[in-house]
Amino acid sequence: MKKIIRTLIILLFPVLLFACNRPTDPKPVGPLPAERQLVWHEMEFYAFIHFNMNTFTNMEWGMGNEKPESFNPTALDTRQWARVCKEAGMKGIIITAKHHDGFCLWPSAYTEHSVKNSPWMEGKGDVIRELSDACREYGLKFGVYLSPWDRNHADYGKPEYLGYFRNQLRELLTNYGDIYEVWFDGANGGTGYYGGANEERWIDNRTYYQWDTVFALVRELQPMACIFSDGGPDIRWVGNEEGWARPTNWSLLKRDDFAPGIAKDLEWLRAGQEDGTHWVPAEVDVSIRPGWYYHPYEDHKVKSLPHLLDIYYHSVGRNASMLLNFPVDNRGLIHDNDAERVLELARALEADFKTDLASGKKITASNTRGKARKFKPENLLDGNKETYWATDDSVLKASVTIDFGEKISFNRFLVQEYIPLGQRIKSFVVEALVEDEWKQVATETTIGYKRILRFPTVEATALRFSVEEAKGSPVISNIQIFNAPKILEAPVVRRDQQGYVSLSAADNEVEIYYTLDGSEPGSGSQQYKDTFLLDRKATVKAIAIDPASGLKSPVEIKPLDIPKTNWKIMGPWAALPGAGSIFDGDTRTATWFPGELPSEMVIDLGQSVEISGFSYLPQQGRDLSGIVINYELYISADNRNWGSPVIAGEFSNIRNSPVLQQLSFTTTTGRYLKFKALTTVNDQPRIGMAELDVVTP
């Protein structure tokens, strides 16, 4: 018996020794994601649909007094929406079930201001039902946007409205299947119809809605749904609607400092907070057009393929998600231009990430946790998100080297942390072995769920990824390397005040061709050599072509109205330095005009002109002060008799989306314009302007 016991001890000793010395898993660091957030992270790229009453009134924010009869799409097809999104590689759709004007896309039992009183489908339709069914058919997740602000409801701003708001939320969360995201806008309070009161109402964003009870209702009815708002609780706004997160982007936030519509500092939303108390990752919401809702005059303003690629790399590539909006048109369809462009994006992304050049290559690490196979560096290349390379607890700086075995070309680097254990990396470096010498390719900060770097093409035999600083031992789940094909950007078209047009391209090796007659440009069109005079209304179409490869850029379409040769600002503002920059055709230049609000500017057009609209572009820098919200525009023949404004109103959502504002009105003849700013962002006593223009018939 003793012999048998001795033999067993000898045989089992190595096993017992291994068990005693087996490396434990790395300890979690900082706030961690919930299960629903882990599922959300993997979605990465999904769609926003802005389709509602504003689609039919040609507005961005309705006032709430619109008639349900106005909502009447002629060919609404939510299956077309789902098909386009699926083919584009998107994983879900969020729909504006109710926007600020209060009109509901479902037959709510709690209001008459809904599709049940519209002519569409004789009042028997339900857009939310149709879209949720279409999403299930195409294997997409479904989400809802419900505006807390309601410019239609008579009780908005009173305690009675809260029951109405929660009842509508309950309808959406119980009647349409699984919901993956519930979206609460931060716009709250202002002028509105309010059941006929036609007044201005404001609320305390932090306390009025009793957000704790609202969030609890979502948790009760849809426990796997992530809640979006300026500060979460699950997903945060990224602090802009332009399509980017900061290169440094923590998924952490001091959540209690935020509420829907309340952010002390937009920088915290754009970059997160390293010392944040909760896991609240960023979502980058951006429209494929300048506006969120459909406007026919934006049919030619769909973002270019290079622009959309920039947005992808500045969102998904920076530890955020990409929520791309489609302004469904008044037929009830994603417009052909929008669909074509997003499918171009899908093809481009497929080409960018077609072949992982790191797959199957030899990889070594400077340190591996306990030298255990469970944490080996080969886990970085196995395509399994549940495996990872980790270092010993005491090792915060470490590196892995991938040996290609031959010289290869690459220009993309993808890396992911194993976020169930937290976001840990504070800085890292990527190097390439070029002619037996290590050369730095990039030095960056955070990683998180996913980080993708773009850089000029490198030819090297090996790559080294080094963690330089971390909050805990590195835990990395994936590394991939790609060589993406070249994409040309469309030329930039500008016309100065003297009427001279210049065309430029980011790539100085391309040739630029253009047309002025509406035809599509190509290599047989006029080649651009130098600036040329264009002293009439015309549309410039331009394309860049790489003569070596034949590669073509998207076509830039630039409508240019009457030249501004004789335009001048009247009065004291004329003497301000740079005042004329608002006529120079360069969106990068801007001028701030001081003065107490309301403040007005008078412009002499130099001659009598028929005018049917105008456009205003606020300054495009980071300083939001001076962006005009409410305005009036007057036209006069003699600079004395002005009469009533030809148009007045608000530039809706311009605070968050400071893009070109173009508005139409009944054609009026005159020589002088008076642009009056009534209110500005932050109520600053100055007007910030990059460009002002008129539209002629």
Element (H, E) at 269: helix 266-271
Q: How far is CA 16 from CA 7, 20, 71, 191, 625, in A?
A: 14, 6, 73, 74, 69
> Are the beta carbons of 460 and 453 closer than 8 angstroms?
no
Tokens read off for 619: 């300054």
- Residue 183: the pLDDT is 97
- Residue 20: the pLDDT is 42
SS3 state of residue 196: helix
Tokens read off for 365: 């690490």
Pick the range with the lowest mean pLDDT from 219-228, 263-272, 422-431.
263-272
pLDDT band per the 50, 70, 90 thresholds, residue 579? confident
Tokens read off for 227: 């809640």
CA pair distance 404, 580, nearest whole angstrom:
57
CA pair distance 685, 677, nearest whole angstrom:
10
> Are the beta carbons of 686 and 625 closer than 8 angstroms?
yes
Q: How far is CA 313 from CA 220, 245, 536, in A?
A: 35, 10, 39
pLDDT band per the 50, 70, 90 thresholds, residue 258? confident
SS3 state of residue 538: strand
- Residue 244: the pLDDT is 96
CA pair distance 122, 115, nearest whole angstrom:
9
The answer on pLDDT for 532 being more than 50 is: yes
- Residue 682: the pLDDT is 74
Q: What is the chain's percent helix, strand, coil content, to nearest 5?
A: 20, 35, 45
Enter the DSSP assignment of 212: H
Element (H, E) at 217: helix 211-221
Q: What is the pLDDT of residues 45-65, one digit of tens each?
A: 999 999 999 999 999 999 999
pTM of the predicted model as reported, rounded to 2 decimal places: 0.84
- Residue 4: the pLDDT is 60
The answer on pLDDT for 11 being more than 60 is: no
Q: In the CATH scheme, what is the homologous superfamily, with its name and number, of domain 492-560?
A: Immunoglobulins (2.60.40.10)
- Tell me: domain 35-352, CATH 3.20.20.80, correct? yes
CB burial readout 506-527, b (16+ within 10 A) else e: eeeebebbbbbeeeebeeebee
Pick the range with the lowest mean pLDDT from 296-305, 425-434, 528-537.
296-305
The answer on pLDDT for 5 being more than 70 is: no
Q: What percent of the chain has pLDDT over 90?
A: 82
Average pLDDT across the chain, whole number: 93
Which residue has 């992911």 as its token pair? Answer: 416
- Residue 13: the pLDDT is 47
Tokens read off for 523: 């290599």
- Residue 1: the pLDDT is 58
* 35 or 579, greater pLDDT: 35
CA pair distance 222, 40, nearest whole angstrom:
14
The amino acid sitting at 468 is E
- Residue 548: the pLDDT is 85
pLDDT band per the 50, 70, 90 thresholds, residue 606? very high
Q: What percent of the chain has pLDDT over 70?
A: 96
Q: How far is CA 354 from CA 88, 376, 485, 486, in A?
A: 15, 26, 10, 14
Query: Cα 298 to chain center, whole Å?
Result: 18
Q: What is the pLDDT of residues 404-413, one digit of tens each?
A: 999 999 999 9
649: left (phi over 0), alpha (psi -120 to 50) or beta: left
First CA to last CA across the chain, in angstroms?
107
* 553 or 622, greater pLDDT: 553
- Residue 624: the pLDDT is 67
Closest by alpha carbon to 327, among 109, 99, 553? 99
In this structure, which CATH number among 3.30.230.70, 3.40.50.300, 3.20.20.70, 2.60.120.260 belongs to the domain 568-695?
2.60.120.260
* Ranges of H-type helices in 429-483: none
pLDDT band per the 50, 70, 90 thresholds, residue 259? confident
CA pair distance 334, 339, nearest whole angstrom:
6
Q: Mean pLDDT throughout 459-463?
A: 98
- Residue 297: the pLDDT is 84
Pick the range with the lowest mean pLDDT from 141-145, 298-302, 380-384, 497-501.
298-302
- Residue 331: the pLDDT is 98
* 188 or 535, greater pLDDT: 535
Strands 599-617 and 556-560: unpaired
Q: What is the pLDDT of residues 285-311, one digit of tens each?
A: 999 999 999 998 899 889 989 999 999
- Residue 229: the pLDDT is 94
Which residue has 């379409």 as its token pair? Answer: 557
The answer on pLDDT for 391 being more than 90 is: yes
Query: Is 568-695 the same fold as 362-482?
Result: yes
SS3 state of residue 3: helix
- Residue 27: the pLDDT is 96
The answer on pLDDT for 453 being more than 50 is: yes
Q: Mean pLDDT throughout 421-447?
A: 98
Q: What is the pLDDT of residues 349-371, one digit of tens each?
A: 999 999 999 999 999 999 999 98
Q: How far is CA 129 from CA 81, 125, 171, 644, in A?
A: 14, 9, 11, 46
* Ranges of H-type helices in 333-416: 336-352
- Tell me: domain 362-482, CATH 2.60.120.260, correct? yes
CA pair distance 673, 293, nearest whole angstrom:
28
The answer on pLDDT for 623 being more than 70 is: no
Torsion of CA 211, 216, 222, 228, to 10 degrees: 30
Strands 628-636 and 511-515: unpaired
- Residue 19: the pLDDT is 46
Q: Where are the domains of the chain?
A: 35-352, 362-482, 492-560, 568-695
CA pair distance 656, 186, nearest whole angstrom:
10
- Residue 17: the pLDDT is 40
* 549 or 289, greater pLDDT: 289
Highest mean pLDDT of the ranges 117-131, 498-512, 550-564, 624-638: 117-131
pLDDT band per the 50, 70, 90 thresholds, residue 6? low
> Are the beta carbons of 188 and 205 closer than 8 angstroms?
yes
